[in-house]
Amino acid sequence: MSLSIGRIEARYAALPEGFFAALPPTPVAAPRLIAFNESLAAELGLSVEGLPSEALARLFAGNDIPEGALPIAVAYAGHQFGSFVPQLGDGRAILLGEIRDQSGRLRDIAFKGSGRTPYSRGGDGRAALGPVLREYIVSEAMYALGVPTTRALAAVLTGERVLREQGPLPGAVFTRVAASHLRVGTFQFFAAREDQDSLRALLSFAIDRHDPEAKDASNPALAFLRGVIERQAHLIARWMGLGFVHGVMNTDNMTISGETIDYGPCAFMEAYDPATVFSSIDQFGRYAYGRQAAIAQWNLARLAEALLPLIDEDEERAVKLASEAISGFAHHFHKAYDDVMRMKLGLLKKDEDDTDLVASLLLRMQQKQSDFTLTFRAFAEAVAPDGEGALRSLLGGDDIADQLIARWRERLLREDVSSSDLVARIKSSNPKRIPRNHRVEEAIQAAIMTNDFEPFHRLNRALQNPYADDPAYVAYEAPAAPDERVRVTFCGT
Ligand code: AMP
Ligand code: MG
């Protein structure tokens, strides 16, 4: 059956041979809809009104292919934990095509867990329910928090089991919407093959999609590289400001668009510690919270390497130009990070001493294992002279805590802002609720063990307006009690 849900285009599928393998998703036994994101569907202009849940389930399981779609698995490479893998690709994902959203932006619609492809290597092409729910919750939470991210359009149970380390688990298909699925690793794929024609075609596709101004630059490849660097610097600064740990910053999991992608063993830090790692396979802390900017820069250097032949025919000159662009990452990141952290303290103006104030605060938070989210949010309450109790105790409840708070108060005098505006400012950059890992795990366990999806839906609702005070969701504010703590998140495969 062919269903029309809107004007789906096949732009990536129109690229030359070698960019992808054309194949449909593998149908599943018994599709059942878990979640469908109606507001995102409206944003995309999808015409799905009146479709019963069964039809949506078949559609988002990949059993019915919508009109206009030309399903493909995309080829890419990538550095995984520092080692280069020349051939990765969509081993369990299928790109349905692109759709122009209500604001005129092209968006990819893709499945994850939709069956084997020529890039599956040893994998089964499927996804387990847990990681699908995790990606749904965390990507939508990131969106609500205002962080560039891929989105969750739907999640469907397959009615089939998948075999994982933990044993047989319910299978699911996730539908992802992205500005594009172009990754650093997509460029590496063709660079490793020294296929300059394809590299050029890919660059032109990427520029059209993400950096149209680069087309008219004197050096389009370099202008494009600079664009990616700037977007990623801003993205990582946003992650840092929320205590977000991606977990698997391999070059195949880093987008060209600047959106966060591939939510696997990701989580939000509770007690502040730059060494925080969640992934069970990241034994050496390569992707720890505090290393994310350095890793992003390393990944971008791999993109720069891939682009060298397009930056300049003269290799030496190309290396010089690319290196300068990569050095620019640190500048963009530090600026963005300083802005993010200053805003968290309600500071809009710039003061020489601010970087030190933030560093002193973070050092104290690390020493006292202060909850990252609660501590920053407590600054809003502390604007009132008698409201600093919670903040003081989160910072250790001693003289050093008092000194830090006094230093911040003194700095506020230079801000020229009313108390109520200041409170609003602080609240709008420090969420009240984040997807705390024990809550995510609780939602996943209820779904797996008792087929109860209510905790999943409730958690999604609690995270829709994360900056607002909402008494209905106080239960989602607290960090994990010692017995609830989830230390590692197993890689979502
Ligand atoms: P990820 O860790 O999800 O970013 O995936 C890394 C690579 O492994 C990608 O090429 C995936 O398509 C592939 N992959 C992960 N899980 C599976 C699976 N169950 N079946 C086939 N390929 C997979
Ligand atoms: Mg990936």
User: 410-421, pLDDT tens digit by residue?
Assistant: 999 999 999 999
The amino acid at 6: G
Give me ligand 2 centre to Cα 418, in Å: 46
Q: How far apart are CA 159 and CA 187, in angstroms?
A: 37
The mean pLDDT value for 69-92 works out to 97
Q: How far apart are CA 439 and CA 484, in angstroms?
A: 9
Residue length, the chain?
493
pLDDT given for residue 460 in this prediction? 98
The mean pLDDT value for 32-53 works out to 96
Percent of the chain whose pLDDT exceeds 90:
94
Q: Are 379 and 341 in contact (CB under 8 A)?
A: no
Per-residue pLDDT tens digits for 317-352: 999 999 999 999 999 999 999 999 999 999 999 999
Angstrom CA distances, 41 to 245, 285, 462, stand at 28, 38, 20
Of 340, 367, 395, the residue that ends a domain is 340
- Are residue 394 and residue 486 in the same domain, yes or no? yes
Which residues contact residue 81 at a Cβ distance below 8 angstroms, ignoring those fewer than 6 apart? 250, 281, 282, 286
The alpha-carbon radius of gyration of the chain (Å, integer) is: 23
Per-residue pLDDT tens digits for 260-294: 999 999 999 999 999 999 888 888 899 999 999 99
92 lines ligand 1 (CB under 6 A): yes
Indicate the pTM of the whole model. Answer: 0.97
pLDDT given for residue 485 in this prediction? 78
pLDDT given for residue 487 in this prediction? 66
pLDDT given for residue 281 in this prediction? 87
pLDDT given for residue 492 in this prediction? 53
Q: How far apart are CA 449 and CA 130, in angstroms?
A: 11
Q: 1-31: buried (b, 16+ CB within 10 Å) or exposed (e) per residue?
A: eebebbebbbbbbebeeebbbeebbbebeeb
The sign of the dihedral angle between the CA atoms of 476, 480, 485, 490 is positive
Q: Percentage helix, strand, coil, to 5, in the chain?
A: 50, 15, 35
Structural domains of the chain, count: 3
135 lines ligand 1 (CB under 6 A): no
pLDDT given for residue 327 in this prediction? 98
- Are residue 144 and residue 199 in the same domain, yes or no? no
pLDDT given for residue 493 in this prediction? 52
Q: How far apart are CA 27 and CA 155, in angstroms?
A: 15
Q: How far apart are CA 95 and CA 74, in angstroms?
A: 7
123 lines ligand 1 (CB under 6 A): yes
pLDDT given for residue 483 in this prediction? 83
Of 318, 340, 362, the residue that ends a domain is 340
pLDDT given for residue 482 in this prediction? 83
Query: Ligand 1 atom 7: the closest Cα is on which residue?
Result: 88
Give residue 270's region: left, alpha or beta (phi > 0; psi -120 to 50): alpha
413 secondary structure, DSSP code: G
Nearest-ligand number for the alpha carbon of 118: 1
- Are residue 193 and residue 144 in the same domain, yes or no? no
* Residue 490 reports pLDDT greater than 60: no
Of 324, 340, 356, the residue that ends a domain is 340
- Are residue 20 and residue 78 in the same domain, yes or no? yes
262 lines ligand 1 (CB under 6 A): yes
- Which one, of 99, 125, 149, lies nearest residue 28 by Cα? 125
- Are residue 325 and residue 296 in the same domain, yes or no? yes
* Residue 457 reports pLDDT greater than 80: yes
- Are residue 69 and residue 98 in the same domain, yes or no? yes
Per-residue pLDDT tens digits for 388-411: 999 999 999 999 999 999 999 999
- Are residue 359 and residue 476 in the same domain, yes or no? yes
- Are residue 162 and residue 199 in the same domain, yes or no? no
* Residue 70 reports pLDDT greater than 90: yes
Q: Are 437 and 268 in contact (CB under 8 A)?
A: yes
- Are residue 414 and residue 327 in the same domain, yes or no? no
Q: How far apart are CA 407 and CA 125, in angstroms?
A: 55
pLDDT given for residue 346 in this prediction? 98
* Residue 2 reports pLDDT greater than 80: no
The mean pLDDT value for 64-92 works out to 97
Quickly state the pLDDT bin for 109 (edges 50, 70, 90).
very high
Give me ligand 2 centre to Cα 138, in Å: 16
pLDDT given for residue 279 in this prediction? 87
* Residue 50 reports pLDDT greater than 70: yes
Least confident of 45-49, 190-194, 241-245, 488-492: 488-492
Nearest-ligand number for the alpha carbon of 132: 1
- Are residue 195 and residue 141 in the same domain, yes or no? no
Q: How far apart are CA 493 and CA 473, in angstroms?
A: 31
Q: How far apart are CA 198 and CA 209, in angstroms?
A: 16
* Residue 1 reports pLDDT greater than 60: no
Per-residue pLDDT tens digits for 184-206: 999 999 999 999 999 999 999 99
Residue 411: give the domain boundaries.
Answer: 345-493
Q: Are 108 and 255 in contact (CB under 8 A)?
A: no
Quickly state the pLDDT bin for 94 (edges 50, 70, 90).
very high
Tell me the two tokens of residue 156.
């469907």
Percent of the chain whose pLDDT exceeds 70:
98
- Which one, of 369, 344, 368, lies nearest residue 429 by Cα? 344
Quickly state the pLDDT bin for 3 (edges 50, 70, 90).
confident
The residues annotated with a catalytic role in the active site are 252
Q: Are 260 and 148 in contact (CB under 8 A)?
A: yes
Q: How far apart are CA 329 and CA 296, in angstroms?
A: 9
91 lines ligand 1 (CB under 6 A): yes
- Are residue 19 and residue 98 in the same domain, yes or no? yes
Query: Ligand 1 atom 14: the closest Cα is on which residue?
Result: 91
- Are residue 230 and residue 334 in the same domain, yes or no? yes
The sign of the dihedral angle between the CA atoms of 184, 187, 191, 192 is positive
The amino acid at 22: A
Q: Are 267 and 278 in contact (CB under 8 A)?
A: yes
Mean pLDDT of the chain, nearest integer: 96
The sign of the dihedral angle between the CA atoms of 303, 110, 157, 151 is positive
Q: Are 190 and 202 in contact (CB under 8 A)?
A: yes
Q: How far apart are CA 73 and CA 20, in angstroms?
A: 5
